[in-house]
Structure 1
């Protein structure tokens, strides 16, 4: 999920090349994670809820395609890809899961047997995860989609054939209700949802060069905003009745799910660029960089607050964002203080 733009200017060829992050990408992720937290806290299955679910998860898969690159056809390149791109995120998934399961053990007074089974479910992943870890499905689907798209662009050369593959996979992935109904059991890591996620990620991979050229265009933003508003109004006015719930694999119409979420994603990206031109840019960029930490922890925050009889959805959403980022700030401050004390003793 690393993002880089053009190399910064350097004074000598021997100096390390530093690469600047693209502001609007991080800001789009900030908007996305706020929508995820609000969507999980919001108690009403109304138009706002349904429309938010159209785009907030596709956004992260779409952005995940921006910086993918074909791999050289060597085992060393494949190994580096897994070491640098796949393992670090999966490691964070396991560590965050272990921490949250431990918290669950104490806050819910679980038995050792229950917590050990919780670890088993963490390893299996997908829809078997609920409660504190219900949002963890995203990580395994993201990683599987990333592996799939990188393999596709590395080993399938004709672009038309790449498009044909991801479209066929998307059609296959939206042609049935869910894995439980089709196979009799949920697939590990929500692997079947990967068929949808690969499509969004591949579209992001292909559209990123174009977006970098037109993202500043108010005409492009206005047109996409108008189109998205039209679909939202149609949902509100009961002209259409569409849902795109990726985790539960509840998708009303495949064609709708392949097009309208991307339209909304383009709106979010255009808004993110405009916000990048304001005084809020730095704060929103920083928030976007913490999106995975918030993704991992906000549901656990909700459950703990609810045990304290705090149930207002707006308060849950606020603390679902604030507590994780406060933890990040405190952790980094403690590291700096420790490092400073070590430097003083040397």
Structure 2
């Protein structure tokens, strides 16, 4: 019997998803440096909900819950830990050599370091701010799939299944933004912040799963233009300001925060599909999308390296600077920062994959010889 809401992805859709992830990363990098590149589609209206939504769109029903949990933990947790240690160690060296405020990545021991990172929302390791997303994503993907799998076991009708999942998605984001977010803002309890992150992330993950078979047919030029106008007017009247998902900050309220995020997601998907259908495959953009996790993890390190280079050249003072709040900003530097913030981690990721591939090949050859 065919599985409910079965999902297969074509080459066009696969390439579009790579472009979606690439544009998502561009918005992340733009959002982490002072600029006014995107006046209407501001990164902080939608860029983090976008990545949770992508997770739902790409989720495959091929694993049982237990295998999926093991897969997610094995894939995400070691990467999170290793990247945290690497960037944290580099941060210590940069702070000691140049005096840049890089935070306190490490505490007195392993347990204390883990507790510090979680309680600080990973912002204690200032060059690895996106650690919060990688950590939350583990829980978002696991809990979302548990819900999806559980509902599929008891609901026979595919239409009813999707309706129930939409209702759950709405419930999760309502509870998160309407009730938990204000409570966190009031008491500043890190556990509430984490719960809010996870519930909001689950809402977009589940919704991405629900419409993954329909999303490409919903993309339309006139709708894109209409939504862009709506967002422009909404921003002009102050209804659409920003969403800081990492700190559970939703000043626009539930409805506008969700609308802003969905408009941004729609725009990124539409532009990505437009490029896929109108232009020959853009290999660089595709590779950026395929290596988005590494770019997300290391782009702030690249920004700091560029700050140091600017300081050495005599154009910038590092005195009292912070790795997140202060960068070398001129009329020409922002495109350089964003371009190298994308390209250098991409090169690092490609080289790492080649080294790992050669090591695996060497191991296979050794086993054959023996």
TM-score (norm 2): 0.75
The Cα shift of 1:280 comes to 4.2
Partner of 2:270: 270
Runs (5+) with no aligned partner, structure 1: 7-18
CA displacement, residues 300-330 of structure 1 (integer Å, 9 cap, x when unaligned): 2223332443613332222211211121233
Asked if residue 134 in structure 1 is aligned to residue 155 in structure 2, the reply is no
1:81 to 29, 53, 68: 68
Partner of 1:169: 172
Range with greater deviation from structure 2 (258-267 or 59-68): 258-267
CA displacement, residues 71-115 of structure 1 (integer Å, 9 cap, x when unaligned): 88xxxx3331122123311211111111101111211129xx954
The separation in 1 between residues aligned to 2:130 and 2:231, in whole angstroms, is: 25
Partner of 1:42: 34
RMSD over equivalenced CA pairs, Å: 3.4
Partner of 1:255: 255
The Cα shift of 1:231 comes to 2.8
Question: Number of aligned pairs?
Answer: 320
The separation in 2 between residues aligned to 1:105 and 1:189, in whole angstroms, is: 27
Q: 1:161 to 1:232 in 2, by over 3 A?
A: closer
1:143 to 138, 141, 155: 138
Q: 1:202 to 1:155 in 2, by over 3 A?
A: same
2:15 to 1, 15, 23: 23
Partner of 2:79: 92
TM-score (norm 1): 0.80
Q: 1:146 to 1:333 in 2, by over 3 A?
A: closer
Runs (5+) with no aligned partner, structure 2: 1-6, 98-102, 156-160, 317-327
Range with greater deviation from structure 2 (177-186 or 310-319): 177-186
Tell me if the contact between 1:97 and 1:133 (Cα under 8 Å) persists in the aligned partners: yes
Q: 1:335 to 1:168 in 2, by over 3 A?
A: closer
Q: 1:52 to 1:333 in 2, by over 3 A?
A: same
Asked if residue 318 in structure 1 is aligned to residue 308 in structure 2, the reply is no
